[in-house]
Amino acid sequence: MNTTTTGAFLVGIAVSAAGVPAPADPVDDALARWDTAAARRSLPPVETADAAALHRWGLLFFLEGDYPKAEEVLARIPSPRGRAAALLRLVRETRSRVRGFVQASSPGGRFLVSFAPGPDEMVVPYLLEAAEAAYEDLSARFGPPPAQPIRIEVAPGLDALAALAGFEEEALRASGTVAVCRHRKVMLVSPAEFPHGYPYADAVAHEMVHFFLIVRAGEDLPVWFQEATAKYLETAWRGEAPGTLSSGLKALLARALAEGRLLPIHTLTSPLTSLGRAEDVALAYAELSSFAGFLVRNHGPEVLPRLAVRLSRPGPGDPLTEVVGQPLKALADAWARDLTTAGIPAVQRGIADPLVLWREPDDSIRAGLPDRVADRVRLGDLLRSEGRMEAAAARYREARDALPTAHPLVTSRLAAALVDSGRPAEALAELDRSGLAGDWFPPLDRERGRALVLLDRPREALPSLLSFVRTNPYDPAVHEGLARVWDALGHPSLAERERRLARFWR
């Protein structure tokens, strides 16, 4: 399995271990590229198929999302073993896990989202927006995939994601994996699995890159190339320059560069979960994204599609040498020298690590502060719960002043108390003073967006509110703020959508 990160979480792609062997004929090649129409044309009729053909038919139906038919066909194989038995188990587990899911499709029918009924309905509109935008961007880069709905399954928990993807749950937890592209579908865990959500919209866009690469070049592209390309392009759907990294990943890369701890890119040939620690996996993705940018800068934007095609073709000769004139190790060494020469802006020391912040509930984050600071924050939280916002803000200021550097939890708590006490300009000043980017900790974006709405600056509020809701879609106050923003910007249908989502909890 390959994985990549969106700050504190990892999204990934895995080849079809329960599928068919490496392509040796047109059917296997089509299945490896998820082209079920082409495979169907070459397969014998399912009614007269032998065991090998039944295995392929079962995989075909599974790739198309017809789980009952896949199970029926695979169950006809006498005493299935090996890959066929593994696929049958996965099909049965998948049928069990998605039982009771509801479905929503995109307006044009490109995407079909399946999810457990309830709060995850609030994820759907943002998932579809990201998927549609990524589809348009990636079609221009790699060509469109075969015309067939792309399935997205939202797993209610990491145990369900592991079961749907066919992985061990512990491996997903250890590496921080939250999304997988496998078996011609995108699977991701509900953002409700984590205290502060996670960037699920970017995760879907990242998996869409994997989807396009597999459709173009098959499942056996090298790990480093799959993840470098996916990470490099994952934010392009929302208008960011390719290769844009979150503040947390920039900090991670900067520290590794300063301390001489860069991972040798040419050694990243196994699934990145094998690196063990989530921080090492995250560093690998930051490096790989930077490496993809290095290739594009030196060889043009077409280098990634060209490499995808060449890397998918077995044969003599080194694919990278043929396409860009150097083997992987030489290119990786050149990238490392370039990174050292260009440098990365220094990061502020002492800021809480987002790899921890995004995973921990607020009480745990607070408990990790120095005792005197934690006591001030705890008292501020108590006062906020009683509606005494002015007094809460005073306690949060005391906590802020007792720290050597800005802390995201303290800053966001202070800003929230100021917004809720009707002092949005002061909240904005505190957020600006901290120097913390919103993507360091989601509540920072929440409070900046709410403050700007109250200051009647809707166009400035929109990016922060969207950033938050694409991370945590369950907050009615943010939906209310977005409704006001869309009304002000002349988008009544989007405003009504946000009002509907804000009412979900009432």
Average pLDDT in the 218-242 region? 92
Tell me which residue has tokens 């390959």.
2
Radius of gyration of the chain, Cα coordinates, nearest whole angstrom: 24
Calpha distance 478→50 (Å, rounded): 56
Q: What is the pLDDT of residue 248?
A: 84
**Domain 2-15+101-342 identical in fold to domain 354-505:** no
Nearest to 134 by CA among 68, 212, 69, 62: 212
CATH hierarchy code of domain 354-505: 1.25.40.10
Separation CA 241–CA 244 (nearest Å): 6
Q: What residues contact 461, with CB distance under 8 A and at least 6 apart?
A: 448, 449, 450, 451, 452, 453, 481, 485
- Each domain of the chain, given as residue ranges in start order, spans 2-15+101-342, 354-505
DSSP structure class, residue 258: H
Cβ proximity of 176 and 340 under 8 Å: no
> Cβ-count burial of 342 within 10 angstroms (0-12 exposed, 13-18 middle, 19+ buried)?
exposed
Q: State the residue for tokens 């800005």.
A: 406
Q: Mean pLDDT check: name the lowest of 188-197, 211-220, 232-241, 313-322.
A: 313-322
Q: Are 203 and 34 spatial neighbours (Cβ–Cβ below 8 Å)? A: no
Report the alpha-carbon distance of residue 91 to residue 62 in Å, rounded. 7
**pLDDT(157) > 60:** yes
CATH fold of 2-15+101-342 reads Neutral Protease; domain 2 (1.10.390)
Confidence band of 66 (pLDDT split at 50, 70, 90) = very high
pLDDT digits (tens, 9 = 90+) for 106-148: 988 999 999 999 999 999 999 999 999 999 999 999 999 888 8
Is 60 exceeded by the pLDDT of residue 14? no
| Burial tier of 68 (Cβ tally within 10 Å: 0-12, 13-18, 19+) | exposed
Contacts of 303 (CB under 8 A, 6+ apart): 295, 296, 323, 324
Lowest mean pLDDT among 18-27, 61-70, 203-212, 404-413: 18-27
Tally of residues, the chain: 506
Tens digit of each residue's pLDDT (9 = 90 or more) over 308-341: 999 988 778 889 999 999 999 999 999 988 887 6
Which pLDDT does position 272 carry in this prediction?
A: 73
Range with the lowest mean pLDDT among 1-10, 357-366, 406-415, 452-461? 1-10
- In 3D space, the residue among 190, 199, 194 whose CA is nearest the CA of residue 5 turns out to be 199
Closest listed residue to residue 111, CA positions, set 153, 78, 80: 153
